[in-house]
């Protein structure tokens, strides 16, 4: 069995950083050693991490790979390469594909497809509809991360809008329920108000159509339903400062109700519509700089539990139009870790907190087996990052099939140098190096 040494590196793990080494045998970490110099002849594969930081691989709990049915814009192979290039070693895919992942057969077919084509580890949510909650009891809890519930209409329109159905869903499972919270009645009313004669609206109206009130009232309802049923609720892509009032600053292990913030709402605000237009259109909408600042500041507390991407590729041709006609969503997975490292450089969060929100907490929230930490016996999902290596985002480096990024032209100071999935180096120095390697399905305790 191959023995790999990652030596002379600054390890960031479980609230601290220290210079040391990690020893890998096969798929697993066998030792984490602080401050020791090794005889490198004992190892068949040696990597000198001098000047780099070694982090657990990022677990992105919220991605839209678009496969099956929407593969003209993205597929499992392309988006898992984008994940690997960004230091993301595990992804959890959303159910609004074609067919929707709302039957046992569709879920199994998607998992089989991931097993054949994904470079990184994977799992797939089961999507809730107004009527399919009787299937929840048949789901294998060791393989399904949770139930995805759309309480607002978005891409793929899986809206669940019946009060009786919502109660059945919240009372019908002890799996985590990840909810997309936007009040559809408010959105419809605002749409009528801002729609122009062409059936569209200026892109600047998007955060007014999908407003703070729409997010707040829907998230508030989700919390009330979860408390009534004592269900596990995870509010997806929180976009407003006001929604933070629904959460508590308690340790993760004490919570039944948790919150996620996504890269789009941390990196952009409504001023960016002026220059980027529909490229930054997503649901829920990017909102004010006040909201953006509040979300960034909440990262250093326990009000926000996890950071994800809501990676949602579309072709640029599908992003044409305004607030009503342009497709919603943006591809962000390749640079999500870079974005968070930029917030570290700005002093908004510490690198230890970054690792907590992107690696440790997703693993703990979903009870993922043997991932999310740099520990002996855990799978060797790791990412080596190097500071003070500026690069500019440009189309030539993009891995996502859609071929564009809202971050084009942005200069990052950190580079993702190497990504390891189950002990296999899959990305190194700007290149995918193990394209035939396949990730594993995530297992949940």
H runs (alpha helix) in 260-369: 263-267, 273-276, 289-298, 336-345, 351-355, 361-365
The 10 Å Cβ neighbour count of residue 395 is: 9
CA triplet 244, 236, 168: central angle to 5 degrees?
A: 105
Q: Reduced to 3 states, what is the DSSP secondary structure of residue 282?
A: coil
Q: Give CA–CA dist 425/418, Å, rounded.
A: 7
pLDDT reported for residue 41: 73
What is residue 334's DSSP assignment?
Answer: G
Q: Give CA–CA dist 27/222, Å, rounded.
A: 40
Domains, the chain, in order of start with CATH, read: 3-54+373-403+411-432 (2.30.40.10), 57-365 (3.20.20.140)
- Sign (positive or negative) of CA dihedral 82, 94, 299, 420: negative
**Per-residue pLDDT tens listing for the chain (445 residues):** 789 999 999 999 999 999 999 999 999 999 999 987 677 778 989 999 999 999 999 999 999 999 999 999 999 999 999 999 999 999 999 999 999 999 999 999 999 999 999 999 999 999 999 999 999 999 999 999 999 999 976 666 689 989 999 999 999 999 999 999 999 999 999 999 999 999 999 999 999 999 999 999 999 999 999 999 999 999 999 999 999 999 999 999 999 999 999 999 999 999 999 999 999 999 999 999 999 999 999 999 999 999 999 999 999 999 999 999 999 999 999 999 999 999 999 999 999 999 999 999 999 999 999 999 999 999 999 999 999 999 999 999 999 999 999 999 999 999 999 999 999 999 999 999 987 889 999 999 9
Q: Hey, what are 258's tokens?
A: 């948790």
pLDDT reported for residue 77: 98
Distances (CA, A) of 67 to 38, 101, 240, 405: 45, 11, 30, 19
pLDDT reported for residue 254: 97
The 10 Å Cβ neighbour count of residue 179 is: 27
Q: Hey, what are 105's tokens?
A: 């057969």
pLDDT reported for residue 153: 66
Among all chains, which residue has been given the structure tokens 């046992």? 104
Q: Are 282 and 329 in contact (CB under 8 A)?
A: yes
Task: Pick left, alpha or beta for residue 87 (phi over 0 → left; psi -120 to 50 → alpha; otherwise beta).
Answer: left
Task: Report strand pairing: 233-235 vs 45-48.
Answer: unpaired
pLDDT reported for residue 154: 65
Q: Of 209, 322, 201, 304, which is closest to residue 249 (Cα–Cα)?
A: 304
């Amino acid at each position: 069995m191959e023995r790999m040494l990652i030596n002379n590196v600054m390890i960031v793990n479980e609230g601290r950083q220290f210079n040391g080494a990690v020893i890998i045998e096969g798929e697993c970490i066998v030792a984490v050693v602080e401050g020791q110099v090794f005889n490198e002849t004992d190892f068949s594969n040696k990597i000198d991490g001098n000047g780099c930081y070694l982090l657990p691989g990022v677990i992105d709990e919220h991605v839209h790979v678009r496969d099956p049915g929407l593969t003209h814009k993205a597929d499992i192979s392309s988006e898992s390469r984008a994940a690997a290039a960004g230091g993301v070693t595990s992804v959890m895919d959303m159910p609004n594909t074609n067919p929707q992942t709302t039957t046992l057969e569709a879920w199994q077919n998607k998992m089989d497809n991931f097993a054949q084509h994904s470079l990184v580890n994977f799992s797939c949510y089961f999507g809730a509809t107004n009527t399919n909650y009787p299937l929840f009891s048949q789901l294998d809890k060791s393989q399904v991360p949770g139930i995805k519930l759309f309480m607002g209409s978005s891409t793929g329109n899986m809206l669940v809008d019946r009060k009786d159905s919502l109660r059945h869903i919240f009372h019908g499972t002890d799996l985590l329920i990840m909810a997309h919270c936007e009040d559809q009645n408010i959105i419809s009313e605002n749409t009528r108000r801002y729609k122009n004669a062409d059936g569209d609206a200026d892109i600047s109206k998007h955060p007014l159509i999908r407003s703070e009130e729409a997010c707040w009232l829907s998230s508030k309802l989700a919390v009330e339903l979860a408390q009534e049923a004592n269900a596990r609720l995870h509010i997806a892509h929180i976009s407003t400062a006001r929604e933070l009032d629904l959460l508590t600053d308690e340790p993760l292990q004490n919570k039944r109700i948790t919150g996620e913030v996504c890269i789009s709402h941390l990196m952009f605000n409504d001023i960016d519509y002026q220059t980027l237009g529909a490229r930054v259109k997503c649901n829920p909408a990017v909102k004010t700089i006040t909201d953006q600042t509040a979300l960034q500041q909440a990262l250093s507390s326990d009000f926000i539990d996890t950071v994800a991407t809501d990676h949602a590729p579309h072709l640029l041709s599908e992003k044409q139009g305004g607030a009503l006609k342009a497709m919603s969503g943006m591809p962000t997975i390749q640079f999500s870790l870079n974005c968070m490292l930029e917030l570290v450089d700005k002093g908004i969060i510490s690198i230890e907190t970054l690792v907590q929100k992107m690696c440790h907490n997703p693993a703990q929230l979903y009870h993922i087996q043997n991932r999310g930490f740099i520990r002996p016996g855990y799978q060797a999902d790791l990412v080596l990052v190097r500071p003070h290596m500026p690069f500019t985002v440009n189309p030539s480096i993009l891995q996502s099939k859609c071929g564009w990024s809202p971050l084009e032209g942005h200069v990052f100071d950190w580079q993702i140098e190497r990504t390891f999935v189950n002990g296999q180096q899959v990305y190194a120095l700007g290149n995918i190096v193990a394209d035939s390697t396949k990730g594993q399905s995530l297992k949940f305790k």
